[in-house]
Structure 1
Amino acid sequence: MAQATMQDKQGILLEAGTNEFEILEYYLFDQSFGINVHKLREIVPFCREELTTLPDSHPSLLGTLLLRGDTIPLVSLADHIGKHLDPAKVAAASDSAVQTRQVVLVCEFNDEVISFLVDGVDQIHRLSWSQVKPMDQFFESYRPRFTGTVTVGERDILIVDMEHIAYEIFGDGEHYAGGDDEVEASSSRKENRADVKLFFAEDSAIIRQGIMRVLKKAGYDLAQSYGDGLACWNAVQQAKEEGELPALVVSDIEMPELDGLALCRRIKEDQVLRQIKVVMYSSLINENTSHKCVEVGADDFTSKPDVTKVVALVDKYCLVEE
């Protein structure tokens, strides 16, 4: 398999704020999974000779790969989510579309580069976030690892939250807890925050709970959170009818039903709602994607997982300087 880079797709870039996105479909044996192509830097064949194992590392961390002079951690996605390749089934499926030559997905998010070993790739699909359905409550224990599920043809594709998996392997379980003391110590205007109404849209329950806890501790007692962009949009519409608009909306980008860019665009294209400040908070924020935030009218943007930056931006747009 020849090396492929995501820069080769420049001719089919999506317009910002249309609620469309593209996923690369890949396999862990006979199950289809998907990843947002904006998180992909490139796809390379797996070469075991280029793998350096690490002692006393996480069971899912195979080691590091040397890729054009850079040392990149390699995670076995099958090991981590329990979807193992069965050699007997592979032999029986030799005539199927499933590829048995493993490849590496080199990903970039949160200003970090991490690679994931998978069993093969298929194709890129252009979809709408309205097609992505949240994981059923029956699979509650698995939900943090998946953004949702989407049906393409007759296949159900699970969209993996690579960011959350990276946190499980490399983090300490308190990714969105850090910074509490710093936020509290720097708050000389905590009482002024109490009257500020703001909305926070984020599909990850773990992140949503962590951010809300920090915001509440900082004094933003009227902060409200929503599990996807559509729920937040409905809340904004209701606030408009009641004549009590939030001062600010902080939103993730990747969310089922309605993504953050489309949410921002709807707000900024409404003559009444456009006064609401919008800050994008996403692992996708980098030099290649931040221009999309500008295109839809976002007032600012910052990358996960720095919680203190979120509070600083909320202060910037919600508190009147004395």
Structure 2
Amino acid sequence: MENVKRQEILLESGSNEMEIIEFYLCGQSFGINVHKLREIITYDPEVVTHLPDTHPSVLGTLLLRGRTIPLIDTRKHVEIKHRDESDSSNRQVVLVCEFNNLVNGFLVDGVNQIHRVSWEQVQPFSVFLDQFKPRFTGSIHIDDREILILDLEYVIAEINPEASMAYDRSPGATEYATPEARRQKKLMLAEDSALIRAGIARVLAGSGYENLEIFDNGKDCFDRIYELYKQYGPSLGDELHLVISDIEMPKMDGLTVCRKVREQLNLKDLKMVMFSSLINKQMAEKCDLVGADGYVTKPQIPELVEMLDGMLFPKNE
């Protein structure tokens, strides 16, 4: 039975597919990755504890099986101002989500269904929109609807900046490497969130890892690796030392990038690190099965830098 379970996980890993749950805000469709969803509960305003001096988007807290979690008014935070009053509030539900080792509740006007889609169907937003700090990482068309993919990490960072403080801390030298040694290494980063891309790049550069090529989706990252592979062949390792990749990204997810690097290009020595809010026991096993060398939970940048140092500057035996 264990072998069957592992085979099922392997078949799901690197398939470039995901499941999103579609929900509504004022009649408009939005979506999040099902991997972040713990459960859906009926909204009861009578059980919400209101708190003074909190962010305007925070309704209060909910007591969920002995655990107190923040409740966020998603509609208010994404600034949808025109509500259709015919969309009765008694259908509102709370999406209880877990990512980055945090549990939060997101109040929405209703849910539709779960869609299994390919990341190729998800269209990233343009670089032009990134400058306006969008709360969305892309969109997908299903039937006659455009579903916007909500960046929950961005929402939480806006409400609670301390949740993303690790993106502002630049680790110093470790027992493995100094900033001067790090400058000699060539890295790639694939991350769809503009906020997190900027944070990772800033901390890595501050640590010395400034030779960094950045992509906002997995496909462009893989295409660049393939381009270098065609140019340098077995000598690719002299031009690229390590790839850091998010898992959920438009066009191609990080697990698929890793699997294609290992299987299609047969690059066994190129270091691949998954940096994602989705890391849990099952996701870690998927990372292992596609050949990732390591994985770190967002937003633990210091831990990421320490892992890079350990991979790129191994101790002398």
Q: What is the TM-score with the length of structure 1 in the denominator?
A: 0.87
Q: Of residues 261, 264, 267 in structure 1, which corresponds to 2:255? A: 261
Question: Residue 208 of structure 2 corresponds to which residue in structure 1?
Answer: 219
Is there any run of 5+ residues in structure 1 with no aligned partner, and where?
1-11
Question: Residue 190 of structure 1 corresponds to which residue in structure 2?
Answer: 179
Is there any run of 5+ residues in structure 2 with no aligned partner, and where?
1-7
Which letter maps to 1:18?
S
> How many residues align structurally?
303
Deviations 1:166-197 (A, max 9, x none): 110011596354321x3357775333222212
1:297-316 alignment to 2 at 5 Å?
Answer: 297-316=291-310
- The whole-number CA distance in structure 1 between the counterparts of 2:175 and 2:314 is 16
- The whole-number CA distance in structure 1 between the counterparts of 2:257 and 2:205 is 24
Question: Residue 132 of structure 1 corresponds to which residue in structure 2?
Answer: 122
CA positional deviation for 1:270? 3.4
1:288 is paired with a residue of what secondary structure? helix
Contact kept, 8 Å, 1:183 with 1:308, in 2: the verdict is no
Contact kept, 8 Å, 1:147 with 1:160, in 2: the verdict is yes
CA positional deviation for 1:199? 1.0
1:236 is paired with a residue of what secondary structure? helix
- The whole-number CA distance in structure 2 between the counterparts of 1:192 and 1:242 is 26
Distance 1:289 1:23, change over 3 A: same
Question: Residue 152 of structure 1 corresponds to which residue in structure 2?
Answer: 142
Distance 1:66 1:149, change over 3 A: same
- The whole-number CA distance in structure 2 between the counterparts of 1:50 and 1:209 is 38
Task: Please tell me the root mean square deviation across aligned C-alpha atoms, in Å.
Answer: 2.2
Distance 1:157 1:271, change over 3 A: closer
Alignment of 1:161 with 2:151, yes or no, is yes
Contact kept, 8 Å, 1:146 with 1:158, in 2: the verdict is yes
Could you tell which deviates more after superposition, 124-133 or 170-179?
170-179
Question: Residue 108 of structure 1 corresponds to which residue in structure 2?
Answer: 98
Distance 1:59 1:221, change over 3 A: closer
1:289 is paired with a residue of what secondary structure? helix
- The whole-number CA distance in structure 1 between the counterparts of 2:25 and 2:131 is 20
2:148 is paired with a residue of what secondary structure? strand
Question: Residue 24 of structure 2 corresponds to which residue in structure 1?
Answer: 27
CA positional deviation for 1:272? 3.8
- The whole-number CA distance in structure 1 between the counterparts of 2:82 and 2:44 is 17
Deviations 1:131-157 (A, max 9, x none): 000124564465531110000000000
Could you tell which deviates more after superposition, 135-144 or 64-73?
135-144
CA positional deviation for 1:238? 1.5
Which letter maps to 1:111?
N
Contact kept, 8 Å, 2:166 with 2:302, in 1: the verdict is no
1:56 is paired with a residue of what secondary structure? coil
- The whole-number CA distance in structure 1 between the counterparts of 2:100 and 2:258 is 21
Give the % identical residues: 46
Which letter maps to 1:249?
V
Contact kept, 8 Å, 2:279 with 2:297, in 1: the verdict is yes
- The whole-number CA distance in structure 2 between the counterparts of 1:221 and 1:125 is 39
Alignment of 1:228 with 2:217, yes or no, is yes
Contact kept, 8 Å, 2:258 with 2:290, in 1: the verdict is yes
Question: Residue 117 of structure 1 corresponds to which residue in structure 2?
Answer: 107
- The whole-number CA distance in structure 1 between the counterparts of 2:126 and 2:214 is 20
- The whole-number CA distance in structure 2 between the counterparts of 1:192 and 1:46 is 53
Which letter maps to 1:204?
S
Q: What is the TM-score with the length of structure 2 in the denominator?
A: 0.89
Which letter maps to 1:203?
D
Question: Residue 240 of structure 1 corresponds to which residue in structure 2?
Answer: 229
Alignment of 1:56 with 2:53, yes or no, is yes
- The whole-number CA distance in structure 2 between the counterparts of 1:152 and 1:212 is 34
Question: Residue 82 of structure 1 corresponds to which residue in structure 2?
Answer: 79
Deviations 1:56-78 (A, max 9, x none): 00000000001111101000000
Question: Residue 9 of structure 1 corresponds to which residue in structure 2?
Answer: none
Alignment of 1:293 with 2:287, yes or no, is yes
Which letter maps to 2:195?
I
Could you tell which deviates more after superposition, 243-252 or 169-178?
169-178
Alignment of 1:282 with 2:279, yes or no, is no
CA positional deviation for 1:100? 5.2
